[in-house]
């Protein structure tokens, strides 16, 4: 039977992220493709203890329906953490979501009519583009300089296209790993105070800094509640939990609650209770320090191996945090074409094209360093070096 789908379905594409996961299932492939954390660093024993405690306390309400906003003590915990980042909010400003991807979905549902414009960086997180497209958004891409998104170009895009949302990933961004300067963050917040446009600040990687401390979020400079901050436990605790949060004005949270009610009623009760137990009863900072230390050494190794094995015409970012290195090949090399050779040589990456909202980036690609062992990084970069050298 041939179904008659809604118009928006023609804008949905299979996600490169998810399709790539299929390639990486072959154990002999060294994959720098996915955006996966290192599973051997997951706090498995602590999460087990947390579930055991909340399920063992004799309180069956951990398995009952609960409120759409989310478990209040967990929202209190998150609000306190937001304050440490300079974001002055209370639990009424927090909505728990099934990963920050659901935050993106709910916000797009609230703001985007078909054909509306969203301002995005170029390149940007492809999972966000996928969500935005499913609501038939159009994109205005704004270039970045060494300090972050170009302010004049941003201002021009706002005036020219009257966008309904701005989506930025200012810290160790997926896919390039680069970070906006503190000054640029302040300037963006200041610019936004002149326009009635919500800014979505996706901070999935902010805790994964490998030198110094993390920079203040744009939302910490936001005096008029135009900023919407997306956080997640996927990179700091574990992605298989599927737990994230939105920080926004109470008015906005009320609308998000309405949207979430129709979407899935609420996020899992036991999941929220167990995560709250974990945050309150274990040394999260120590766990983060261990993550940073290990990811830093993997980043350093990958960069060192790239310097040794890649020809000099190839350039790449040297990110101070996050999980990714962004590679630019000399024109006219095409990273999609080269991926076939790479997969034959049992090494994988993500071509840059899907990260560009309106096309381009054919000579770019993303490498993940968090999910591979040092031996895999060494061997995988050597394999890639051979492929890039013979072109």
**Which of the stretches 36-44, 147-155, 172-180, 358-366 binds its own copies when contact is defined by CB under 8 A?**
36-44
Minimum CB–partner distance for residue 390 and its own copies (Å): 33
| 268 forms part of the interface with its own copies (CB under 8 A) | yes
Q: How far is CA 71 from CA 136, 230, 303, 315, in A?
A: 33, 17, 42, 46
From the number of C-beta atoms within 10 Å of its C-beta (0-12, 13-18, 19+), residue 6 rates as: exposed
CA distance to 96, 145, 156, 338, per residue, from 220 (Å):
20, 22, 24, 42
CB of 207 to its own copies, least distance (A): 17
Using CB under 8 A, pick the residue from 61, 160, 293, 313 that binds its own copies: 61
275 binds its own copies, rule: CB under 8 A: no
DSSP lists the bridge partners of residue 321 as: 209
Determine if 56 is a binding residue for its own copies (CB under 8 A): yes
Q: What is the dihedral of CA 108, 353, 322, 138, to 10 degrees?
A: -20
Asked if residue 4 binds its own copies (CB under 8 A), the reply is yes
Does residue 265 interact with its own copies by CB under 8 A? Answer: yes
Whole-angstrom CA distances from 199 to 45, 97, 114, 188, 287 are 38, 18, 19, 10, 31
Under rule CB under 8 A, residue 134 binds its own copies: yes
Among 85, 209, 219, 226, binds its own copies (CB under 8 A): 226
Subset of residues 329 to 368 that bind its own copies, contact rule: CB under 8 A: none
CB-wise, 108 or 328, nearer to its own copies?
A: 108
Cβ at position 149, least distance to its own copies in Å: 22
Judged by beta carbon, residue 234 or residue 309, the one nearer its own copies is: 234
* 322 is an interface residue for its own copies by CB under 8 A: no
Q: Which of 194, 224, 337, 389 is close enough to bind its own copies by CB under 8 A?
A: 224
Q: Does 75 bind its own copies (CB under 8 A)?
A: no
* Token couple for 58: 């004799």
Q: Residue 369's closest CA among 30, 105, 51?
A: 30
Cα of first residue to Cα of last residue in the chain, in angstroms, is 47
Q: How far is the CB of 4 from its own copies (least distance, A)?
A: 7
The binder of its own copies chosen from 148, 170, 177, 198 (CB under 8 A): 198
Strands ordered across the beta sheet of 324-328: 315-316, 324-328, 364-368, 350-351
Under 8 Å between Cβ of 179 and 324: no
Q: Residue 104 or 329: which CB sits closer to its own copies? A: 104
Q: Could you give the CA distance from residue 235 to residue 202 in angstroms, rounded to a whole number? A: 13
**Given CA atoms 250, 253, 257, 258 in this order, what sign does their dihedral have?**
positive
Strands 144-145 and 148-149 come out as antiparallel
From the list 153, 176, 148, the residue with the least C-alpha distance to 163 is: 153
The window from 123-131, 199-207, 348-356, 361-369 that contacts its own copies (CB under 8 A) reads 123-131
For residue 102, the minimal CB distance to its own copies (Å) is 4
For position 163 contacting its own copies by CB under 8 A, the verdict is no
70 belongs to the binding site for its own copies (CB under 8 A): no
CB of 332 to its own copies, least distance (A): 32
Q: Which of 31, 93, 102, 328 binds its own copies (CB under 8 A)?
A: 102
The answer to whether 143 contacts its own copies (rule: CB under 8 A) is no
């Amino acid at each position: 039977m041939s179904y008659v789908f809604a118009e928006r379905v023609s804008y949905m594409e299979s996600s490169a992220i998810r399709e790539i996961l299929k390639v990486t299932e072959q154990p002999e492939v060294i994959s720098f493709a996915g955006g996966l954390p290192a599973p051997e660093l997951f706090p498995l024993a602590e999460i087990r203890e947390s579930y055991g405690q909340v399920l063992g306390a004799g309180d069956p309400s951990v398995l009952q329906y609960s409120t759409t906003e989310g478990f209040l003590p967990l929202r209190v915990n998150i609000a306190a953490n937001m304050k440490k980042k300079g974001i002055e909010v209370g639990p009424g400003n927090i909505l728990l979501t099934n990963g920050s991807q659901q935050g993106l979905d709910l916000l797009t549902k609230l703001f985007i009519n078909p054909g509306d414009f969203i301002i995005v960086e170029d390149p940007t997180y492809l999972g966000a583009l996928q969500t935005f497209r499913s609501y038939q958004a159009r994109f205005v891409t704004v270039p970045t300089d060494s300090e972050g998104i170009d302010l004049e170009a941003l201002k021009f895009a706002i005036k020219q296209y009257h966008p309904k949302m701005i989506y930025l990933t200012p810290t160790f961004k997926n896919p390039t790993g680069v970070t906006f300067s503190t000054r640029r963050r302040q300037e963006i917040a200041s610019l936004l105070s002149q326009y009635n446009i919500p800014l979505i600040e996706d901070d999935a990687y902010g805790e994964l800094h490998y030198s110094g401390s993390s920079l203040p979020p744009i939302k910490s400079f936001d005096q008029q509640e135009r900023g919407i901050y997306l956080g997640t436990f996927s990179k700091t605790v574990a992605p298989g939990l599927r737990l994230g949060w939105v920080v926004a004005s109470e008015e906005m949270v009320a609308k998000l609650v309405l949207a979430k009610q129709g979407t899935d009623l609420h996020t899992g009760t036991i999941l929220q209770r167990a995560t709250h137990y974990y945050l309150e009863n274990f040394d999260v900072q120590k766990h983060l320090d261990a993550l940073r230390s290990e990811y830093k050494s993997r980043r350093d190794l990958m960069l060192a191996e790239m310097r040794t094995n890649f020809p000099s015409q190839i350039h790449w970012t040297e990110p101070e945090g996050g999980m990714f290195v962004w590679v630019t090949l000399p024109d006219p090399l095409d990273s999609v074409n080269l991926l076939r050779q790479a997969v034959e040589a049992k090494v994988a990456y993500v071509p840059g094209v899907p990260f560009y909202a309106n096309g381009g980036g054919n000579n770019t690609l993303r490498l993940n360093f968090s999910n591979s062992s040092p031996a895999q990084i060494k061997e995988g970069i050597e394999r890639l070096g051979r492929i890039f050298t013979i072109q």
